[in-house]
Amino acid sequence: MSAAKDPRVGIYCRVSTASQSVDPQEAALREYAIRKDWTQLRVFKDHAVSGARDRRPALDQLMQECRRGSVDLVLVWKFDRFGRSTRHLIEALEEFRQLRIEFVSLTEAVDTATPAGRMFFSMIAVIANFERDLIAERVKLGLAEARRKGTRLGRPPKKDIRPEEAERLRRDRARGKTTLRALARKYGVSVWRAHSLCSGLKTTVS
pLDDT in tens, 135-176: 888 888 888 777 777 776 655 555 677 888 888 888 888 887
Q: What does the pLDDT average to over 116-122?
A: 77
Q: Binning pLDDT at 50, 70 and 90, where does residue 31 land?
A: very high
Q: Would strands 40-46 and 8-14 be described as parallel, antiparallel, or unpaired? A: parallel
Which of 66, 86, 70, 17 is closest to 46 using CA atoms?
17
Cα–Cα distance for residue pair 156/78, rounded to 1 Å:
46
Provide the pLDDT for residue 155: 55
Question: Is 70 labeled as catalytic in the residue annotation?
Answer: no
Please give the pLDDT value at position 4: 64
| Least confident residue range of 79-83, 132-136, 178-182 | 132-136
Contacts of 43 (CB under 8 A, 6+ apart): 11, 13, 26, 30
The active-site residue, picked from 16, 19, 70, 206, is: 16
Per-residue pLDDT, 53: 59
The rounded percent of the chain whose pLDDT value lies above 90 is: 31
